[in-house]
């Protein structure tokens, strides 16, 4: 079972999947990221995800790619050492910032465009 929590923190949309991200739950996660794709500044907080398989990693990469294609900026927050190690080993951290805290993830995103 995967629960996806959405929050707004300091002008950033935060997507928090809670639970395992695997072949059984990936469609729910993929759908949530698709709905968030037009968000200008998105943080994906993976701190409540104890396990990610290749399907989950693929959905995460696809969601980030889609958001960037629509002009958005994305960073990932994760304080789980085993998951951070997976993200670094797979080279995921070369395509998106992987920060330990929400504040670090927010700081990695570009400033909001001034209203005209």
Domain boundaries, the chain: 3-108
Q: State how far the alpha carbon of 78 is from the alpha carbons of 33, 38, 114, in Å.
A: 17, 22, 29
3-108 under CATH 3.40.50.300, yes or no: no
Q: pTM, whole model, 2 decimals?
A: 0.90
- pLDDT tens digits in sequence order for the chain, 116 residues long: 899 999 998 889 999 999 999 999 999 999 999 999 999 999 999 999 999 999 999 999 999 999 999 999 999 999 999 999 999 998 999 999 999 999 999 999 866 555 55
Q: How far apart are the first and last CA of the chain?
A: 43
Enumerate residues 6+ apart whose C-beta is below 8 A from 7.
Answer: 13, 14, 16
Report the distance separating Cα 101 and Cα 48, nearest Å: 13
């Amino acid at each position: 079972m995967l629960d996806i929590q959405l929050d707004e923190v300091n002008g950033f949309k935060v997507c928090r999947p809670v639970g395992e991200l695997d072949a059984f739950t990936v469609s729910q996660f993929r759908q949530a990221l698709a709905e968030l794709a037009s968000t200008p500044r998105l943080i994906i907080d993976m701190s409540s995800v104890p396990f990610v398989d290749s399907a989950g990693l693929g959905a995460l990469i696809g969601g980030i790619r889609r958001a960037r294609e629509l002009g958005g900026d994305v960073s990932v927050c994760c304080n789980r050492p085993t998951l951070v190690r997976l993200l670094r080993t797979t080279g995921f951290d070369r395509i998106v910032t992987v920060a330990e805290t929400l504040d670090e993830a927010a700081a990695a995103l570009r400033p909001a465009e001034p209203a005209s």
